[in-house]
Amino acid sequence: MIVRLVKESLRTLSVTTYHPLGWSLGWLHKRLRHQSLSEEELRIEHNCPVLLVHGIFHNSSAFYAIERMLKKNGFSKLSALELWTSHRSIEQMATQLKERVEELIADHHTSGHEGKVRMVAHSLGGIVVRTALQDLNFARRIDKVIFLGVPHQGNNLFFRLRYPRCVKQLSPHSDLMQTLKELPLPGGIQYWNLRGTLDVVTPARETILPHIPNLYFEGVGHAGLLSATRVLQAILAILETPLYDADLSGVKGTA
């Protein structure tokens, strides 16, 4: 247990170290080399837009490891949404998300391709995604969603903070969380819910999302979901293949 806690502390440190770079250094993304794969059956999957949605008090740099891994494996249309979680409500960020997805779809279709947007959302970003999905016109633009450590049942600790505004909305008793828990997830979308057993920010009881695949990763915490090799392997397998066709049996740490 001590070794696992040390590893998670190091992952937290690494993710935090990337954070200041994310606001101003565009070269951080440009330096990630794209290596296209030759397998024809993966070409369409790799060409679909993938949007990364970060959590509270962070920015796109949170996805440094995920973005690097996806580009290395042939994904060519990656982008991250920069959310101002410090002063915007979840509904305002959901509107921003919907606008960004419209831009991605337009660019994708203009270049002569078909297909929808896939999203990988961490922590609060997953609640932003679920809020946007209440708009069925928006939901029709999406075909895959991967949640990472998302407080689907609300958060029993941080919503008590007086700041920022969006944290208060994570109360299990808030109107927003009650609505999300009562409404079914839109159909036609492939959902996966990835969770870490060492996650103390969003514990297991808060991240459960019934009726979709829930994957547990032993010894992985909240920050580790953004960088642990086992999690990255699972994200890659899910994005490369249709739902339920993805063979995750070889991904250690899943259950």
CATH number of the domain where residue 168 is located:
3.40.50.1820
Sequence-separated (6 or more) residues with CB below 8 Å from residue 100: 51, 79, 81
Is 131 within a domain? yes
Is 253 within a domain? no
Q: Tell me, what's the pLDDT at 168?
A: 87
Whole-angstrom distance, CA of residue 96 vs CA of residue 123: 17
Domain count, the chain: 1
Ranges of the chain with pLDDT below 50: 17-38, 243-244, 255
Q: Whole-angstrom distance between the N-terminal and C-terminal Cα of the chain?
A: 19
Q: Tell me, what's the pLDDT at 114?
A: 73
Is 155 within a domain? yes
Q: Tell me, what's the pLDDT at 39?
A: 58
Is 39 within a domain? no
Q: Tell me, what's the pLDDT at 31?
A: 35
Q: Tell me, what's the pLDDT at 84?
A: 86
Instruction: Map tokens 């937290």 to a residue.
Output: 12
Is 251 within a domain? no
Domain that holds residue 152: 2-13+47-240
Is 198 within a domain? yes
Sequence-separated (6 or more) residues with CB below 8 Å from residue 35: 71, 72, 73, 74
Per residue in 94-114, pLDDT tens?
Answer: 999 999 999 999 998 877 677
